[in-house]
Structure 1
Amino acid sequence: MSRLPRTLFLLLFLLLGGCGYQVGSLMHPQVKTVAVAPVVNETVAYNVAAEMRGLLCECFMTDGSLKLVDEKEADCIVYARVVSIRFSEVNWSTVNDDLFVPNEWRVQLKVEFSVIIPGSAKPLISTRSVTGSAEFQTGPDMYIGRRNGIRQAAYDAAKQLVTAVTEGW
């Protein structure tokens, strides 16, 4: 009697194996490597382009669907530009019972990107956009809090961008 459940399980496993489910990368089968071109910053925020490129590289390596290589060796190249950054107050605190100051902020970072195959006239993925967001507290140093918030929003945008590239078929 113990062979019957195993046989049914094996039969079910073999039948479901041909239903179109795929394990692993959803990337185009001919694209194995990716490069990230220098990111363009069209905002007034300092050093966002360098942080965005670094986080994109980190997210591609973490995802593992594509191997990150130099632009000269890549099957496709990701071109990105940071087009806007917005800050808004989320929470306020009271100082001296009559003065309200924001102590928690939200940052939104919009990034447009496209994916090009070197030597091809038509882009692999035409221009799309993702928006990363994060909430941060100012703390004693507003500049440090703001930089950390921008980095968190850039990381959120980078994760979305990598997902759009690897699963955008």
Structure 2
Amino acid sequence: MTDEAEREQWYQEKIAADARALGLDDVPNVDRRGWATSTAEHEKWVADCMTDRGVPTTWNGPARGGIQYDTPPESQKQAVALVEWTCSAMYPIDPTLLQDWTDAQLRLVYDYWEQYEIPCLEARGFTVDTSTRPSKESFVAKFHTQERHRWWPVQDTLVGLDDARYADVIEACPEFPADAVLYGYDG
């Protein structure tokens, strides 16, 4: 998805699908404020936007991700859903970053884990189980299939850590290569 018309079509389809999923029948026109260049950036912008619109919202940070807000009373659920939809529509993630990884990207992720991520985790005292690690070619060939290998060294290794420790480890040992490397993304 490289051309602006494709991105815009994706955006229009996405916000329409999101409105349906939230049960919103009548949504306003929203001016997109640009493309978020990461999930973390999108979540932070949405949390700030929702808070600015009267729905106190917390962003969980880059390590855990996601946003949180109190469950509204039944009488306010549609209004809160509209605020969330509006903020998400204003600050969407660039669809280029949401496409399935290519074989080249999968090889890059595999190499990154093997050459950087695993040694980084081990240097911090973690034992990374590589006994089920597939070959690179098997990892790539099966990634988008039902037979996909479930080997995911970061998540498998860091299960059970509290949020603060998890965030520290992910900051020191990012799970994936930088978006500029993985996606060739320059904004």
Give TM class, smaller chain: under 0.3
The structure where strand makes up a greater share of residues is 1
Higher Cα Rg: structure 1 or 2? 1
TM-score, normalised by the number of residues in structure 1? 0.22
What TM-score do the two structures reach when normalised by structure 2?
0.20
